[in-house]
Amino acid sequence: MQFGKSVGTACSTFAITNIDDIFVLATFFAEASTSATLTPIKITIGQYVGFTIIMAVGMIGFAVSMVLPSEPIGFLGLLPMLLGVWKLIGLLLPVKGEEGEEAEESHISGAKSILKVSLVTIMNGGDNIGTYIPLFSQAKGAEIAIYVVIYYILLGLWS
């Protein structure tokens, strides 16, 4: 294992799969400037929660890839498309009850803000999963641990 190469791979794969996340985060931070419930710390927490779920799915996919033959793993590329269709359907369907809602307790609305950011992060993470599973499948030794640590460090810098 070459440490420098592993760090470089982790940095480049993180940047490639999360470049679109900059636009999502910019939208959330813009919303936070006018919202009483959505704050920068809640955005960051939501980002970490969502990314942790993405990493868990990636690890599960990696574990499955160790058991399955390599041919079906190529179909994992359909996962980002399915997530995109799911998000499109969510955008097209009207959301009921958003107007005229009464003010909720701050801890409930804070949890909803974190959940909102987490869900958007997960929905936006199909490309991450589609990249991380094959990357983890070809990794040797402690490379996966290096990737995960670098990803979380970069996630903090990204937010």
Helix (H) or strand (E) holding 134: helix 126-138
Q: Is 40 helix (H, G, I), strand (E, B) or coil?
A: helix
The predicted model scores a pTM of 0.72
Q: 10 and 146 in contact (C-beta within 8 Å)?
A: yes
What is the spatial distance between Cα 143 and Cα 111, in angstroms, rounded to a whole number?
34
| Number of residues written out for the chain | 159
What type of residue is 148? V
Q: At what angle do helices 40-67 and 143-158 cross, to 10 degrees?
A: 160
Please report, in tens digits, the pLDDT of each residue of the chain (159 residues total). 688 899 999 999 999 988 888 888 888 899 888 888 888 999 999 999 999 999 998 898 888 877 877 666 666 667 667 767 777 777 777 655 544 444 445 556 677 888 888 888 888 887 888 888 888 888 887 899 999 999 999 998 887
| pLDDT-above-70 percentage for the chain | 81
Q: Which residue has the tokens 């955005």?
A: 43
Closest CA to 58 of 132, 109, 126: 132
pLDDT reported for residue 77: 63
